[in-house]
Amino acid sequence: MITLRKSEDRGYADHGWLKSHHSFSFADYHDPAHMGWGNLRVINEDRVAPGTGFGTHGHRDMEIVSYVLDGALAHQDSMGNGTASGAHSGVIRPGDVQRMTAGTGVRHSEFNHSKDGTTHFLQIWLLPERRNLPPGYEQKHFDADSKRGRLRLLAAPGGEDGAVTLNADARIHAGLFDAGERAQLALDPARPAYVHLARGQLEVNGLTLQAGDAAQLQGESLLTLANGRDAEVLVFELAP
């Protein structure tokens, strides 16, 4: 079974400096029919105005993945990332995937330091494999060629195939599709899957998605992506 979730049916918040679409219930947006899908709890499509951002705030017991579509996002956290002596610069740009394990508790900030460009990114939360994990951070770059006409694994348990290590029973893929490019992914019918189209147009198992649309899959054994037009897509294989 495949269910279409239209872009315009998502929650929306306009804070001036931040414009955010919520695929699932978040903050002031609450819809009992859309509290998550499998262990996928949040997909927020955020646009952050130049020179603004999220001040220091805390999280715990969540796997947080950030995927930048346009612009850059500067991250600092209580683990030292984003500081001069930190292990990571914390700045993520298109093609970068950032994974933060909130675990027992972490505080961080996220800013768009550009003077004139909006940062457009996806903020993704997944329920972790267990509570009270040690906080952690990882950041990797996946170039466009690795996603062109195929699905590239971005995040997975154990860091499979060069992906970032995800402390959750889930796998995240991304792909870029145009014209005759086509890809298939075998699915476990016992596991839900979720397809989020970040931009462009794409057919998902014969169903046409536009930018911001999503497809919820349950009981499907095969995912087919075809007939893309400037499409950038994320695919989630999730816990049963």
At residue 60, the pLDDT reads 97
Yes or no: say if 76 and 109 are a contact pair by the CB < 8 Å rule.
yes
Residue 49: C-alpha distances to residues 53, 92, 192 (Å): 8, 16, 34
| Spatial separation of the C-alpha atoms in residues 58 and 99, rounded to whole Å | 15
At residue 10, the pLDDT reads 98
Strands (DSSP E) contained in 30-163 are 40-48, 52-59, 63-70, 73-77, 91-92, 96-101, 106-112, 119-126, 136-141, 152-156
Give the DSSP letter of residue 216: E
| Spatial separation of the C-alpha atoms in residues 153 and 234, rounded to whole Å | 10
For the structural domain made of 2-237, what CATH number should be given? 2.60.120.10
- Of 93, 43, 71, 19, the closest CA to residue 198 belongs to 43
Give the DSSP letter of residue 25: -
| Spatial separation of the C-alpha atoms in residues 212 and 5, rounded to whole Å | 9
- Please name the residue that has the structure tokens 């999503």: 214
- Of 153, 152, 140, 157, the closest CA to residue 63 belongs to 157
At residue 89, the pLDDT reads 79
At residue 87, the pLDDT reads 75
Per-residue pLDDT of the chain (240 residues; tens, 9 = 90+): 999 999 999 999 999 999 999 999 999 999 999 999 999 999 999 999 999 999 999 999 999 999 999 999 999 989 998 877 677 778 999 999 999 999 999 999 999 999 999 999 999 999 999 999 999 999 999 999 999 999 999 999 999 999 999 999 999 999 999 999 999 999 999 999 999 999 999 999 999 999 999 999 999 999 999 999 999 999 999 999
Sequence spans of domains, the chain: 2-237
| Spatial separation of the C-alpha atoms in residues 226 and 233, rounded to whole Å | 11
